[in-house]
A and B are shown apart, each in its own frame.
Chain A
Amino acid sequence: MKHNFRNWPVLLVLFIFSLPLLIMLTFLVVDTFTTKVPGTLVPNAFTLHHFRFLWTDLDDGRWGIYGVTLNTFIFAASTAAVVTAISVMAGYALSRLSFPARGFFLGSLIVLHAFPTVTLIIAIFLILQILGLYNTLIGVIIVKTALELPFGIWVMKGFYDTVPWEIEMAGVQDGASRFTVWWKLILPQVQPGLMAILIFSFLSGWSEFVLPMVLNPGTDAQVLSTYLATLLLDTNTNSDFNLISAVGLFYALPVVIIYLIFQNKLMNIYGGGTKG
């Protein structure tokens, strides 16, 4: 169906619309590695000066970038691990096991899945204060996990639903307990789902900004998103866009790499899963 029509007008329109994004992306990279002729957009020399945050501390008191990166990694990785672990179990229960009030739990899952979680931030802030988890990395991890869970469980349940019942029946018939059947026979079948959730929630944690900003505003366990936001919103630094872009590029590097590797998989999750 491609041959009946000429493509170039469409291509042109698309290109024009994409121009702002293309410009932003191009200069994000160009600016960080070059110096410019003042007042123009023309680079005139290669430099690594904007990446100085990698070998010197930017200013007093603030943690070095590596500490912040480590925090971000801990935050994203533990969120991803916990979300995946819990979803893998709960998804199986909802898909395959019978227990009291199963219908109710399924309904709740859908409701939670659709619920806009940001609206809860104020109450969560107060809950963390009361629990004494305010301003700790652990607190943000738990909250982020909770908010990601409905999505994770939903996706996992979907994957479990596609595993043929007969495999499970055969396992039970071969004398294995339901737990063994799950662990040895079913889990290997939903590995793609497991990977999908792991990747998705890691990215989601890595990019998360609002939760760390509100629940963990201190500098003790800062993450890259809040670190970058402080640079951006702080009037002392917010005009040094080359530095900010360099930090941003450093911050986004894992995301871009993961995106390049898992591009198609990710598009499917974002499309089918609807959250994010």
Chain B
Amino acid sequence: MQRSSWLGLAFLSPALIVVLLFFLMPVILTGIFAFTNMSTATGVKGGSYVLNASSLRALTDAGLPDVTRSQIESAGYRVDERGLAALAEAHGQAVAEEFSKNHAGEVFTKRRDVERALKDLSSNPIRKTRDRKAAADLFKRSILNQRYETLDAFEAALNEAGIPKPDRPLITEIAYTGWTWTTANFDLLLSLDSTWQYAKNTGIYVTFTLAFNVVFGLFLAITTFYLPAAQATAFRAIWFLPRILPPVLYIVMWRWFTWDTGFISTVLSGFGVSSKNWMLDTEYHAWVTVILINGFVGASMGMIVFSSAIRAIPASMLYASEVDGASRWQQVWYIILPQLRWPILFITSYQTMSLLTSFEYIYLSTDGGPGGSTEVWALAAFHTALNNYGGNLQYGLGATYALLLVVIGVLASLFYLRLFNFKNLLTKPRIEG
């Protein structure tokens, strides 16, 4: 390998590492997480094994034989080495030895029995009832409400408690608190009515915002092109602001504008209209606001791209058309618009992608409201996995929502690659030494 190859790889490797870790891995992991039931309850890392009242209920529902169930519940107190050692530590070797002589290997079902056995020791060494209770607990070998960190430990405990072999897999499965593999997310996704609602909302959102972006972007670009430089610069600057201002502040302004004590309410109250929240009072108003909020931002991008495309049109072409007596409309229609075909295609496809996947502005303005009417797909994914009032965040289900967007994103990016004149990019470096 040439020397410059090493330099090339060295120069690329920091980028490579970061991109692999936080770009490629997330893409793959979204696909993987979509097949799990990860949630706040299961945690993200592995889980442990716990049998408690609710898991017992679940076991009964799953058809666990009553015999086994009562076995689990009653697996009580066993006088074994471990307990004796603990007893020796708490109350002295002599006590432990005597207790061992009388009861080694015995199993008690109730704590009271253990306490009695302890009381019956020759010298009654443990006087206080509270101490005796504690000492009895040293022999407690029930598997209920115990946390086992590994599968081996849990199985050993089941074995010790004498749970029948055929019932163990079911018990193990239900006792596991971590996440597991499942395809349930996809079934759920398809069966939920809200899924279709999200898809529909997304359709409305993307279509209208996109139309606004392109049409209004074109309008801004063309009008500012014809204006004297100072005016054009002023308008471009105003329309560039939504893009450059921090999104949160931008939404602050819109909220102020539409709030029940805000601008619209205040102005309209002068005409006797009672003040209300113009953003959230009806579904229709919510949509208009959402589309305008995103549309204003998108239009500025269209404006910039179209403006530079228009400026790239040879001035002689425009002069020629003017000499030919074209009106301004004709000039726009026959000269400018045909030249903007590619920029329009570019903005359309680019904005479609970014509108499909972004939720920032909606989250900050309507948060999907009122009543979920502006909840788009990307926002639903976000809500399901990362932000809901219920508190149980369903990472797995959220990832399933996101997966669809990721797949669309990958396909669109690959398409983008095809659009590019990739061969041109591949020109070989000219220094070969």
Give the shortest distance, in Å, between A245 (CB) and chain B (any CB): 7
Give the shortest distance, in Å, between A163 (CB) and chain B (any CB): 12
Contacts of B30 in A (CB 8 A): 119-120, 122-123
Interface centre among B21, B245, B405 (most CB of A within 10 A): B245
Interface-side segment among A56-64, A147-155, A187-195: A147-155
From B7, B44, B308, B360, give the contact of A209 (CB < 8 A): B360
In the complex, what residue of chain B is closest to A238 when comparing beta carbons? B255
Given contacts A115-B409, A207-B247, A241-B262, contact A147 B12 (CB under 8 A): no
In the complex, what residue of chain A is closest to B260 when comparing beta carbons? A239
Contacts of A106 in B (CB 8 A): 422, 425-426
Distance of A271 Cα from B244 Cα, bound (Å): 12
Tell yes or no: B174 within 8 A of A by CB: no
Number of interface residues of A (CB under 8 A): 106
Asked if A100 and B5 make an inter-chain contact with CB atoms under 8 angstroms apart, the answer reads: yes
Distance of A123 Cα from B33 Cα, bound (Å): 8
Give the shortest distance, in Å, between B104 (CB) and chain A (any CB): 47
In the complex, what residue of chain A is closest to B27 when comparing beta carbons? A120
Interface-side segment among B54-62, B118-126, B189-197, B223-231: B223-231
Given contacts A93-B12, A114-B412, A172-B431, contact A21 B242 (CB under 8 A): yes
Give the shortest distance, in Å, between B114 (CB) and chain A (any CB): 43
Asked if B246 and A206 make an inter-chain contact with CB atoms under 8 angstroms apart, the answer reads: yes
Interface centre among B1, B12, B356 (most CB of A within 10 A): B12
Question: Quick one: CB contact mask for A221-243 with B, threshold 8 Å, 1 for yes?
Answer: 00011001100110000110100
Contacts of B308 in A (CB 8 A): 268, 271-272
Given contacts A125-B385, A146-B22, A149-B18, contact A114 B353 (CB under 8 A): yes
Tell yes or no: A261 within 8 A of B by CB: no
Q: List which A92-119 residues lie within 8 A (CB) of chain B.
A: 92-94, 96-100, 102-103, 105-107, 110-119
Asked if A239 and B386 make an inter-chain contact with CB atoms under 8 angstroms apart, the answer reads: no
Distance of A266 Cα from B432 Cα, bound (Å): 36
Tell yes or no: B357 within 8 A of A by CB: yes
Asked if B2 and A120 make an inter-chain contact with CB atoms under 8 angstroms apart, the answer reads: no
Distance of A107 Cα from B420 Cα, bound (Å): 10
Question: Quick one: CB contact mask for A156-193 with B, threshold 8 Å, 1 for yes?
Answer: 00000000010011001000001100000000000000
Q: List which B358-413 residues lie within 8 A (CB) of chain A.
A: 358-360, 364, 367, 378, 381-382, 385-387, 395, 398-399, 402, 405-406, 409-410, 412-413
**What residues of chain B have their CB less than 8 Å away from a CB belonging to chain A?**
1-9, 11-12, 14-16, 18-19, 21-23, 25-27, 29-30, 33, 38, 44-45, 216, 219-220, 223-224, 226-228, 231, 235-249, 251-257, 259, 261-263, 266-267, 269, 292, 296, 301, 304-305, 307-308, 315, 318-319, 322, 328, 331, 346, 350, 353-354, 356-360, 364, 367, 378, 381-382, 385-387, 395, 398-399, 402, 405-406, 409-410, 412-414, 416-417, 420, 422, 425-426, 428-433
Closest 8 CB pairs of A and B: A99-B8, A97-B8, A146-B22, A123-B26, A90-B15, A116-B357, A207-B246, A93-B11
